[in-house]
Amino acid sequence: MKRNNRLFRNIRKSKGIPVNVLALKAGVSVSTIVAFEKHGIPPKRRETRKRLAKALGVSYKLLFPEDSEKEVSEA
């Protein structure tokens, strides 16, 4: 998940979106985003991860490919 948090941060910064603005758009706390970006701790709930991807305007599968792999193996 480490690579994902760097990718997430790079996308957010390249789009010029401050952490507090992204948190509002995604309906999450600033600490949720900081925990992911700085410590590689992703949100526990899949729905939260999907909202973050949507708020960034990127594919959920791009940011969280391991979730997509789990969905395929569970099918």
Q: What CATH number is given to the structural domain containing 17?
A: 1.10.260.40
The model's pLDDT over 48-75, given as tens digits with 9 standing for 90+, comes to 999 999 999 999 999 998 886 565 444 4
**How many structural domains is the chain composed of?**
1
For residue 66, what are the domain limits? 2-74
- In the numeric block, the tokens 């594919």 are attached to 59
Q: Which two tokens stand for residue 17?
A: 């979106």
Do the beta carbons of residue 11 and residue 56 sit within 8 Å? yes
In 3D space, the residue among 70, 72, 7 whose CA is nearest the CA of residue 42 turns out to be 7
Question: Dihedral through CA 3, CA 48, CA 9, CA 53, nearest 10?
Answer: 90
Does residue 43 or residue 68 have the better pLDDT? Answer: 43
Predicted pLDDT at 72: 45
Predicted pLDDT at 40: 92
